[in-house]
Chains A and B, each alone.
Chain A
Amino acid sequence: MILSGSDIIVECLLEQGADTVFGYPGGAVLNIYDSLYKYSDKIRHIITSHEQGACHAADGFARATGKTGVVIATSGPGATNLTTGLATAYMDSIPLVAITGNVSCNLLGLDSFQEVDITGVTIPITKHNFIVKDIADLADTLRLAFEIAGSGRKGPVLVDIPKDITAAKCEYKRDDISKAGEQPALNGELLDKVAELIARSEKPYIYAGGGVISSNAEDELKRFAELCDAPVSCSLMGQGAYDQTDRRYIGMLGMHGTVKAAAALNDCDLFIGIGTRFSDRVIGDPTVFGKNAKIIHIDIDPAEFNKNVEAYTAVQGDVKSVLGELCKRIAQKLNVWTDKMILMNFGEPVQRGTEEFPVTPQAVIEKLDELTDGRAVISTEVGQNQMWAAQYYKYRQPRSFISSGGLGTMGFGLGASLGAKVGCPDKTVVNIAGDGSFAMNLNELITASAHNIPIIEIVINNNVLGMVRQWQRLFYEKHFSQTTLDNRHIDYVKLGESFGIQTFVIAKTEDIEPVLKKALDISKTAPCMIEVKIDRDINVLPMIPAGKPVVDPITEIDLEA
């Protein structure tokens, strides 16, 4: 049938099963929004307050559901507003398709109104991008965009579509997609070698990253850990890849990982990194990382091998199939060392409140974990709030921790939580924010309210940019430059209520449980917000300073010093 370009766009989204999209209208996408109007019974569009929020929402939707997220923005500033969201998704390998309008083909390159070379801008922050200059290419380009975004190492793809292409007409034939992407062939000999290394190891250590989640390999990981009888640690992106209530789980590894995870790293003789890119925030000093161990690196992207850490053996492949194959090759092990590591008490730091601010983030997040049975979807902003959310909630399943790990985008969490909730309406979705990150994109509270997306926004308010303050305390002679925010005087209750969002305050320890319960109750039907008042000098501990070896983490910071 003959359709307009904009109808073809919507038809292609439906072909891909994308029945929910996030975006913001504008001049160059008027035709697309006219088609969305026409197809509004088949496709849900959620308008956010800002294109950045729409992009984070599409990203949160993708992280929570495993589907490819879709965001639409107009040309020029609409398109550039997506860039932080695209870079966030790119760093964390999240499948997104961003559709941007552009000026008509005859106006391209002439510095026309709201024209920007968004394909040029986004080359380094997308897996790939396209500009469609011929309507005959439109449908196949969109199909290809979804294929690229969702295959191999996933990532965002941008398709820029000039306005005249969305207006032009063309023959369109529905094309039902074949989902099976090509898997790289596994090297049997190499797998035998890895199985042999595991068999010979007395102190094997499993370290799981976000790749386990994007490959849906949680069952294989669990089986693999049982067979290897190894302690399991997860990266920040890997939170939820392994059930944290399992006895073999020893906590997060990295700058703010547990003392136990760090101690086991230094003692292990075989370090198996799975679906991970060995971020600098994890390895600290690369020259001594896992110095007593042989490192096995399993990942879908061979460009990660020997990039940050040199691997003894590297296995390229989809994590799910690699682990599945390895499980067939290893006999049940029993390691004395593993039991020793699991049982040993390493004295993990505990947070303490003050007289004025008795509540600690640890107490709130642990209570939230208890009340939700560890089964809520937790999104975070970036900074201390993010680390606390990772440390104190016990993630039981994949896709339950949604955080900007690689780019570290403050302002990510609220938008992402909206996308997660829209994608998983039956799950409790909580965004854990700090007051700094909250202020960056609080405009998306309007989206929560307007579309009645019932998330819980928890603002842990210490009136400082806590993580930066922590570094200033440790490394900048307590010059708290531009990190003290107590002249802001925000009334969170009034703020929330002006957006039509019920807001509560936790200031005393005895507030924690009733307020959380009330919020969980409200969140069955409506969004709500909680301000948690805490002391400004609760630090994120343990801590390994950047670039330093992962030994002897700091577990206490003397505030008097």
Chain B
Amino acid sequence: MREYVLSVKVNNNIGVLARIGGLFSRRCFSIKSLNSAETEEENISRLTIVVAADIRSLEQIKNQLMKLYDVHEVRILDDAVTREHILIRAGKTSEDRHKIIEIANLYRAKPVDVGADSIMLELTGEPVKIDSFIDLLKPFGIIKMVRSGITALERD
């Protein structure tokens, strides 16, 4: 069992997410993250899905997805650029805020909203980088956060 990144091209039709989500749940495949948005082609979206699977169920997931009418292409990404985006608000005191800004500078995270005690930062990077960034902010108290889930594109 390990994590795989799937890149799935779909018709941007009503209910396409329900079809894909439903397929994962009823076939007992687990989704770690899912990101969906439009592409350069009209009415086509690209989903980046991170799944935890063994090789046999990975093959099943791919084949079952391909059977959905709205799915055009399923690629299991191997050599790809993977990125994730996070918005995170942390800090309880103004002192915290300074320390948080120091960490943000190390990671080249950008402050996007500054409150009296807390600060909201944004960061884009490899998922591991995002993980370690979150870990460093934990001692200051994370108030709220949202991760985009992985987006990925194959290298040339």
Which positions in A face B, CB cutoff 8 Å?
Answer: 119-120, 123-124, 127-128, 131, 148, 153, 301-303, 305-307
The smallest C-beta distance from A485 to any residue of chain B, in angstroms, reads 34
- Whether the pair B60, A307 counts as a contact (CB closer than 8 A) is yes
Name which of B14-22, B37-45, B76-84 contacts chain A: B14-22
Residue of B nearest to A133 (CB): B14
* A306 contact set on B, CB distance < 8 A: 56, 59-60
Given that A120-B15, A124-B22, A306-B56 are contacting pairs, would A148 and B69 also be in contact in the complex, using a CB cutoff of 8 Å? yes
Q: Does B2 contact A (CB under 8 A)?
A: no
- Whether the pair B26, A124 counts as a contact (CB closer than 8 A) is yes
The smallest C-beta distance from B10 to any residue of chain A, in angstroms, reads 13
Interchain CA distance A120-B15 in the complex, whole Å:
8
Interface residues of B in 107-123 (CB under 8 A from A): none
* A128 contact set on B, CB distance < 8 A: 68-70
Ordered by A's residue number, 6 sampled pairs between the chains whose C-beta atoms are within 8 Å are A119-B15, A120-B15, A127-B69, A128-B70, A303-B63, A306-B59
* B22 contact set on A, CB distance < 8 A: 123-124
Give the contacting residue for A303; candidates B15, B56, B64; CB below 8 A.
B64
- Whether the pair A123, B64 counts as a contact (CB closer than 8 A) is no
- Whether the pair B63, A131 counts as a contact (CB closer than 8 A) is no
Residue of A nearest to B19 (CB): A123
The smallest C-beta distance from A121 to any residue of chain B, in angstroms, reads 11
What are the 6 tightest A-B residue pairs by CB atom distance, in nearest-first order? A303-B63, A128-B69, A302-B63, A303-B64, A123-B22, A124-B26
* A303 contact set on B, CB distance < 8 A: 60, 63-64, 66-67
Size bin of chain B's contact surface: 10 to 19
* A124 contact set on B, CB distance < 8 A: 22-23, 26
* A305 contact set on B, CB distance < 8 A: 63
- Whether the pair B14, A131 counts as a contact (CB closer than 8 A) is yes
Residue of B nearest to A153 (CB): B67
Interchain CA distance A84-B63 in the complex, whole Å:
25
* B19 contact set on A, CB distance < 8 A: 123
* B66 contact set on A, CB distance < 8 A: 302-303
Interchain CA distance A480-B60 in the complex, whole Å:
40
Interface residues of B in 1-46 (CB under 8 A from A): 14-15, 18-19, 22-23, 26
Interchain CA distance A302-B23 in the complex, whole Å:
16
* SS class, residues of chain B in contact with chain A: helix
* B23 contact set on A, CB distance < 8 A: 124
Interchain CA distance A119-B26 in the complex, whole Å:
17
Residue of B nearest to A303 (CB): B63
The smallest C-beta distance from A313 to any residue of chain B, in angstroms, reads 15
Which positions in B face A, CB cutoff 8 Å?
Answer: 14-15, 18-19, 22-23, 26, 56, 59-60, 63-64, 66-70
Interchain CA distance A128-B16 in the complex, whole Å:
11
* A120 contact set on B, CB distance < 8 A: 15, 18
* A123 contact set on B, CB distance < 8 A: 15, 18-19, 22
Residue of A nearest to B25 (CB): A124
Interchain CA distance A123-B59 in the complex, whole Å:
22
Residue of A nearest to B55 (CB): A306
Residue of A127, A148, A302, A305 with most chain B CB atoms under a 10 A cut-off: A302
Residue of A nearest to B26 (CB): A124
Interchain CA distance A307-B67 in the complex, whole Å:
14
* B59 contact set on A, CB distance < 8 A: 306
The smallest C-beta distance from B6 to any residue of chain A, in angstroms, reads 15
Residue of B nearest to A144 (CB): B69
* A119 contact set on B, CB distance < 8 A: 15
Give the contacting residue for A301; candidates B67, B68, B70; CB below 8 A.
B67
Residue of A nearest to B65 (CB): A303
Residue of A nearest to B23 (CB): A124
Interchain CA distance A207-B128 in the complex, whole Å:
50
The smallest C-beta distance from B143 to any residue of chain A, in angstroms, reads 35
The smallest C-beta distance from B102 to any residue of chain A, in angstroms, reads 50
Residue of A nearest to B22 (CB): A123
Interchain CA distance A153-B59 in the complex, whole Å:
18
* B63 contact set on A, CB distance < 8 A: 301-303, 305
* A131 contact set on B, CB distance < 8 A: 14
The smallest C-beta distance from B31 to any residue of chain A, in angstroms, reads 16
Residue of A nearest to B20 (CB): A123
Interchain CA distance A302-B63 in the complex, whole Å:
7
Interchain CA distance A306-B59 in the complex, whole Å:
9
Interchain CA distance A148-B22 in the complex, whole Å:
20
* A153 contact set on B, CB distance < 8 A: 67
* A148 contact set on B, CB distance < 8 A: 69
Residue of B nearest to A304 (CB): B63
* A307 contact set on B, CB distance < 8 A: 60
* A301 contact set on B, CB distance < 8 A: 63, 67
* B60 contact set on A, CB distance < 8 A: 303, 306-307
* B56 contact set on A, CB distance < 8 A: 306
The smallest C-beta distance from A245 to any residue of chain B, in angstroms, reads 37
Interchain CA distance A303-B57 in the complex, whole Å:
10
Interchain CA distance A127-B67 in the complex, whole Å:
8
The smallest C-beta distance from A25 to any residue of chain B, in angstroms, reads 27
The smallest C-beta distance from A187 to any residue of chain B, in angstroms, reads 16
Instruction: Add 6 more A-B contacts to A128-B69, A303-B67 (CB < 8 A).
Output: A120-B18, A131-B14, A303-B64, A306-B59, A306-B60, A307-B60
* B67 contact set on A, CB distance < 8 A: 153, 301, 303
The smallest C-beta distance from B68 to any residue of chain A, in angstroms, reads 8
The smallest C-beta distance from A91 to any residue of chain B, in angstroms, reads 13
Interchain CA distance A307-B22 in the complex, whole Å:
19
The smallest C-beta distance from A137 to any residue of chain B, in angstroms, reads 11
Interchain CA distance A128-B19 in the complex, whole Å:
9
Residue of B nearest to A129 (CB): B15
Interchain CA distance A127-B18 in the complex, whole Å:
14
Residue of A148, A301, A303 with most chain B CB atoms under a 10 A cut-off: A303
Interchain CA distance A305-B18 in the complex, whole Å:
25
Residue of A nearest to B60 (CB): A307
Interchain CA distance A301-B69 in the complex, whole Å:
14
The smallest C-beta distance from B110 to any residue of chain A, in angstroms, reads 39
Residue of B nearest to A310 (CB): B56
